[in-house]
Structure 1
Amino acid sequence: MECSEVTNINLSRLLKEGGTARAAGVVREAFSVGAERFPLVGEATWKVVVTAVGGEEYWLSGEVEGVALMECRRCLKPTPTPVRAHFQHLLRYEPGLEAVTFHEEAEDEYYAFGLPDLDLLPFLTEAFVTEMPYTVLCEEGCKGLCPVCGADRNLVDCGHEVAVRHPFASLKDLLPEL
């Protein structure tokens, strides 16, 4: 199977004859959701299979794998984070429909499409970004940034001591006998 940078799959033969269509490719640089950009280290690879399941319905399944560049939650250092996501969706062919649209009817959820060239990027992006961890650490013992001067405490000892304030410290004055 040939990999390409194109994130479309042509379903013309599948729409006429049934069966299965396969595609694979790469996404370079980043995934984007609105104004938010999720940079990649290298490229993310993907592969999909679309299978006719009867009538005008098709089953899309695939996976996308790559390394996202995320910020460490303590020191903000760019941290490579491996991500692997699988996805499956029911597709319904509705001739003449210009864009892929999501439908939810009772217990059925499906994506409707009307053109034989199906853009896979929204499916790949959703799966990849959803599977990314909420936060990452550059290393387990990351010391983070100094809250006083902002220095990276992994690289320098700025000498600032931050007093640890216990959340119940003010209660000590209420009951002096304890």
Structure 2
Amino acid sequence: MTTILRETSARDPLVLVSTWRAHPGHEADLEQRLTDELDAVLLHEAGVPDYHLVHRFADRGAMRRWLDSADRDALHDELAGIAERVGEPERLSGLEPWFTAVGKPPKWKMWLASFVGAYPLVVLFQWLAAPHVEHLPLLLRAALLPLVLLSLMTYVMMPVVTRVLGGWLAR
């Protein structure tokens, strides 16, 4: 697995994706142990040996606390007997984690899923907000749409879109 690092603000939400491969005969043990990990989501496709553990963090500090924690060390010690970590964890931010969580679909599917999420927000913005900001200077008015759109896409729409379209995105 390739490590993906992006320059982000210390306050940007982050996702850390670790991949584990069970030792033969320990698949059920690994799945059970990773499922018991309450602060993460387990992604596994039947017939594929890799299990992806997805942790979401509010910011870089929260991620750093987890990476340096005794709980993480204990989890890794426990898993060492039944699995091996594949590559280094991937650190993602912005909209990227929503697509990585469903298996890195082709760009055209990511584009279409983003469009499905963005289009209703643009229509709502034009209907509800645009008439009330016509008097503002162009640069300020132009900044409002991406500010509102990107915030809502990251925190509201993409979790819903990727959950609804997850099976199609992963195919």
User: Where on the TM-score scale, by shorter chain, does this alignment land: which range?
Assistant: under 0.3
Which of the two has greater helix per residue? 2
More strand by share: 1
Larger Rg: 1
Q: TM-score, normalised by structure 1?
A: 0.24
Length-normalised TM-score, structure 2: 0.25
